Amino acid sequence: ALHVLPAIPSRWRSLSFDGIHLPGGFVIGADVDRGRLRRVRVRSARGGVLRLACGGAAVRDLATSPGQE
């Protein structure tokens, strides 16, 4: 499973990233505002299932179609 920012250092008040390529044709990005994970973006080139946990939350299976955002 992919764990997106499971722990955010207190000095990271604001953060944004995009375009991180993962195995399986997925591309992710995320936004942190006021020290909290606010948004995670997933794009899928080929479709499939990505096991994902965000900000320390439980792991979920995210089913995608080719080209889905």
> Could you tell me which residue, 1 or 48, shows the higher pLDDT?
48
Q: How distant is the alpha carbon of residue 4 from its chain centre? A: 5
Q: Binning pLDDT at 50, 70 and 90, where does residue 29 land?
A: very high
In this predicted structure, the answer to whether residue 25 has a pLDDT above a threshold of 90 is yes
pLDDT band at 19 (very low <50, low <70, confident <90, very high): very high
Give the strand pairing for 26-33 and 14-22: antiparallel
The pLDDT, as a whole number, for residue 42 is: 93
pLDDT at residue 22 in the model: 92
pTM: 0.81
